[in-house]
C-alpha cells in the first residue's frame, strides 16, 4: 500500500500499538462512570488509523492512555511489544488546544525537545529545525511567538515540533477542531501529504466523518459509552488523496456506513427511542450527493 514510499523517515522505525482489553473509568462507587471498557485495537505500523466517535465518548481518554499521561485500570497497552510506562518522545501528541509554549518563538518551540535531551545539537539541530519549519511553511515565522501566528500556523508549528523528535507514533486529538472551514481543509490536505511522504504510524482522532474518511487507511468507529470498538472499516481510496475522492460513490458508501453505525450508537445513548425518526434522519443524510 502507501507504505513503500517512506524514504523520508530517517531514524524512526514505525510503531505497532496493541491495546488489549483496556478499561478506564472515573469516580468511586455511586459516582462511578465507565468510560472505556474492554477496548481492543491494534494500530498497524505505517498506517493512518482514524478513531471516530461522538464528543464525550472517551477519545481523549484513550489518547492520554496511549501517550502515557494516564494509565488503564485493567488491560495493557503495548508499543512494539513493550508496555507503556509513561510519556516518552517515541509518541508525540498534538491536541486540539495549542500546547506551544507561548513564551518561546516558533523556532525555540521546535528545538525544545532535542535541546532538552541533547540528542541533536549545534548546526545539525539548527538545520533540522529550519528544514522542518520550512516544510510546514513557517520559514518566515521562525522568530514569531505562537500568539502572533494564525490558528492554522500554530497547528503546523506543532506538527514540526512533534516531528523533530522522530516519534514512532504520532497521535492527533481533534487537531483541526476550532479552525475555520477554509484553514481546516487546507490543514487536512497538508497533513495527508505529510503523512503520505512520511509513512509514520499515525493515530488520528476526530468527530468529523468526512475528515476521517479523507485521511484514513483504517477507520475505527467507536461505540456508545462505555466505549469500545464498534467496527473497523478499511478505507481503500487510493493515495495520494484529494478532496475529489470524497464525492466518489465509494467514499459515499463509507460515509453512509460510518454514519449509520454512529447514529445507532448515538440512539443507544439516547435511550433507544424513536425508530421512526431514525429512519427519517438517515434518509435526509443519504439524499445529498448525486
Least Å distance, CB 35 to another protein, is 18
Which one of another protein, ligand ADP, Mg ion, none interacts with residue 61, CB within 5 to 8 A by kind? ligand ADP
Which one of another protein, ligand ADP, Mg ion, none interacts with residue 35, CB within 5 to 8 A by kind? ligand ADP
Least Å distance, CB 172 to Mg ion, is 11
Task: Indicate if the alpha-carbon torsion angle 64, 68, 69, 75 is positive or negative.
Answer: positive
CA separation for the pair 201, 217 (Å, rounded)? 11
**Binding residues vs another protein (CB under 8 A):** 67-69, 86-89, 91-93, 95, 97, 99, 101-104, 112-113, 116-117, 145, 147-148, 165
Check residue 227 for interaction with Mg ion (CB under 5 A).
Answer: no
Closest CA to 197 of 51, 43, 10, 50: 10
Q: Residues binding Mg ion: what is the number (CB under 5 A)?
A: 1
Beta strands in the chain (DSSP E): 17-26, 33-43, 48-52, 74-79, 82-83, 91-94, 169-173, 201-206, 218-222, 229-234
Which one of another protein, ligand ADP, Mg ion, none interacts with residue 203, CB within 5 to 8 A by kind? none
Which one of Mg ion, another protein, ligand ADP, none interacts with residue 56, CB within 5 to 8 A by kind? ligand ADP
Closest CA to 17 of 91, 94, 73: 91
CA separation for the pair 88, 153 (Å, rounded)? 25
| Strands ordered across the beta sheet of 229-234 | 91-94, 169-173, 201-206, 48-52, 218-222, 229-234
Sole window of 54-62, 77-85, 119-127, 209-217 interacting with Mg ion (rule: CB under 5 A): 54-62
Beta bridge partners of 34: 25
**Binding residues vs ligand ADP (CB under 6 A):** 26, 35, 53, 55-61
Beta carbons of 258 and 221 less than 8 angstroms apart: yes
Closer residue to Mg ion (CB): 60 or 201: 60
Which one of Mg ion, ligand ADP, another protein, none interacts with residue 58, CB within 5 to 8 A by kind? ligand ADP
Closer residue to Mg ion (CB): 60 or 228: 60
Beta carbons of 137 and 177 less than 8 angstroms apart: no
Neighbours of 135 (CB within 10 A): 17
Closer residue to another protein (CB): 145 or 281: 145
Which of 37, 49, 60, 223 forms a contact with Mg ion (CB under 5 A)? Answer: 60
The DSSP annotation for 148-171 comes to: GS-HHHHHHHHHHHHHTT--SEEE
The residue number with the shortest CB distance to ligand ADP is 60
Least Å distance, CB 7 to another protein, is 26
Which one of another protein, ligand ADP, Mg ion, none interacts with residue 112, CB within 5 to 8 A by kind? another protein
Amino acid at each position: 500500500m502507501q507504505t513503500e514510499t517512506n524514504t523520508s523517515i530517517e531514524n524512526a522505525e514505525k510503531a505497532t500499538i496493541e491495546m488489549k482489553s483496556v478499561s478506564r473509568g472515573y469516580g468511586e462507587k455511586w459516582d462511578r462512570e465507565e468510560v472505556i471498557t474492554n477496548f481492543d485495537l491494534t494500530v498497524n505500523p505505517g498506517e493512518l488509523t482514524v478513531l471516530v466517535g461522538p464528543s464525550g465518548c472517551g477519545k481523549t481518554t484513550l489518547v492520554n492512555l496511549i501517550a502515557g499521561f494516564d494509565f488503564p485500570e485493567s488491560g495493557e497497552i503495548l508499543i512494539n511489544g513493550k508496555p507503556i510506562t509513561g510519556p516518552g518522545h517515541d509518541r508525540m501528541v498534538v491536541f486540539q488546544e495549542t500546547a506551544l509554549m507561548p513564551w518561546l518563538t516558533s523556532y525555540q518551540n521546535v528545538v525544545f525537545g532535542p535541546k532538552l535531551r541533547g540528542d541533536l545539537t549545534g548546526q545539525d539541530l539548527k538545520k533540522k529545525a529550519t528544514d522542518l519549519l520550512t516544510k510546514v511553511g513557517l520559514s518566515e515565522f521562525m522568530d514569531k511567538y505562537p500568539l502572533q501566528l494564525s490558528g492554522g500556523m500554530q497547528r503546523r508549528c506543532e506538527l514540526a515540533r512533534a516531528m523533530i523528535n522522530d516519534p514512532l507514533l504520532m497521535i492527533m486529538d481533534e487537531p483541526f477542531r476550532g479552525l475555520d472551514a477554509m484553514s481546516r481543509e487546507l490543514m487536512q490536505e497538508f497533513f495527508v501529504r505529510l503523512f503520505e511522504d512520511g509513512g509514520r504510524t499515525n493515530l488520528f482522532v476526530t468527530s468529523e466523518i468526512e475528515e476521517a474518511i479523507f485521511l484514513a487507511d483504517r477507520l475505527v468507529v467507536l461505540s456508545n459509552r462505555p466505549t469500545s470498538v464498534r467496527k473497523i472499516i478499511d478505507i481503500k481510496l487510493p493515495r495520494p488523496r484529494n478532496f475529489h475522492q470524497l464525492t466518489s460513490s465509494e467514499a459515499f458508501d463509507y460515509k453512509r456506513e460510518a454514519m449509520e453505525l454512529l447514529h445507532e450508537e448515538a440512539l443507544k445513548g439516547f435511550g433507544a427511542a424513536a425508530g421512526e425518526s431514525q429512519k427519517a434522519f438517515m434518509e435526509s443524510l443519504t439524499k445529498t450527493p448525486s
